Amino acid sequence: MWEYTDKVLDLFYNPVNQGTIEPAAEPGVAVVFGEVGSIACGDALRLHLKIKEDQEKILDARFQTFGCTSAIASSSALTEIIKGKTLDQALQITNHDIADFLGGLPEAKMHCSVMGQEALEAAIYKYRGIAVADHDDDDEGTLICKCYGVTEPRIKRVIRDNHLTTVEQVTNYVKAGGGCSSCLADIEDLIAEVQQELAVAAVAVKTAIAEEQGSRGAGEQVVTAAPPLPSAVAPLPLPILTNIQKITLIQQVLDSEIRPLLIADGGDVQLHDVEGDRVLVKLQGACGSCASSNATLKYAIEAKLKDLVLPTLVVQEVGG
């Protein structure tokens, strides 16, 4: 029996925004839907959006879901989250936002929140008349899990987006490997491949930053006749990182430099989100109940991230 939160059970027994949206009859309003999954594989979701065209704002959202308790609750939660948001704001919503809205999902049911995120993306890109590149590639790639029809690109995408490290996690997120198990070795290979790609990308970013800082420093030495006093030296501009680059570097430092030390003392930390220079984390195990958790945040985690990623980062703990 799965351990569901009260919010999950409430939205399962009393789902909101269930059903369809009639084609728009009023000017300046469009209705579109996106769908993912298939009944043959056990879960399917069709998400309907009513959009005010001049503002690209979601006026209403409804869903039709075939699936389990978590699938229905996740779909209902998604409609509540996105109503009133612009399409660009909605595209920033992740499957973790859906799970957090529900107070958490069983790890084995995370694929239900992933399904919601993908249906939302499909609906928005359909409205904008452009191909959903990631999903198109997902459908056309090499089939890895024949039981659930999951392709190599989709598995790699979910590994990358959610920082998955085990086959069990992949199964929880996209069901791949949950049938006959003949694809488990292939999934392990994909995990290793993605981890290698992320590691190479992180090294490349840090190398580029170091080279840029080095070239700036060298340039200043050439044009300066006499080196100024340290207090008079203007600080080098901070490196500009995309959010994906920033998240990748932060995750790398957490996994290689911070988590092993915390785990050795019975604790752990998980990256929850990155909002600008705010790094939101969840302390777990002994760290979560420790009286010195603030010191752990500031000196064990924040100081290391400031040193190895960006000096402007601020680490904050989130509940749950």
pLDDT at residue 223, rounded to an integer: 41
Residue 116 CA to residue 114 CA, distance in Å, equals 5
- Would you call 112 a catalytic residue per the annotation? yes
Q: How many CB atoms are located within 10 Å of the residue 233 CB?
A: 12
Write down the catalytic residue from 41, 68, 147, 290.
41
Residue 105 lies in a domain: yes
Q: Retrieve residue 179's tokens.
A: 């049938």
Write down the catalytic residue from 112, 145, 183, 287.
112
Angle at 137 between CA 99 and CA 37, to 5 degrees: 45
In this structure, the answer to whether residues 67 and 26 fall within a common structural domain is yes
- Would you call 41 a catalytic residue per the annotation? yes
Domain that holds residue 301: 243-317
Map tokens 């839907």 to a residue: 33
Residue where one domain finishes, among candidates 130, 158, 180: 130
Q: Retrieve residue 115's tokens.
A: 């399904």
Mean pLDDT of 216-220: 53
Is the predicted pLDDT of residue 18 greater than 90, yes or no?
yes
In this structure, the answer to whether residues 95 and 122 fall within a common structural domain is yes
Residue 283 CA to residue 269 CA, distance in Å, equals 5
- The four Cα atoms 139, 141, 143, 144 give a dihedral, to 10 degrees, of -110
pLDDT at residue 243, rounded to an integer: 74
Q: What is the pLDDT of residues 126-177, one digit of tens each?
A: 998 876 544 444 456 788 988 888 889 889 888 888 888 899 999 988 888 8
Domain total for the chain? 3
pLDDT at residue 107, rounded to an integer: 87
Residue 230 lies in a domain: no
pLDDT at residue 32, rounded to an integer: 94
pLDDT at residue 236, rounded to an integer: 41
Q: What's the CATH code of the domain at 253?
A: 3.30.300.130
Residue 165 lies in a domain: yes
Does the reported pTM lie above 0.75? no
Q: What is the pLDDT of residues 76-133, one digit of tens each?
A: 999 999 999 999 999 989 999 999 999 999 988 999 999 999 999 999 999 988 765 4
Closest CA to 239 of 206, 196, 279: 206
Residue 231 lies in a domain: no
Q: Retrieve residue 80's tokens.
A: 């509540």
In this structure, the answer to whether residues 166 and 91 fall within a common structural domain is no
**Helix, strand or coil for residue 105?**
coil
In this structure, the answer to whether residues 125 and 146 fall within a common structural domain is no
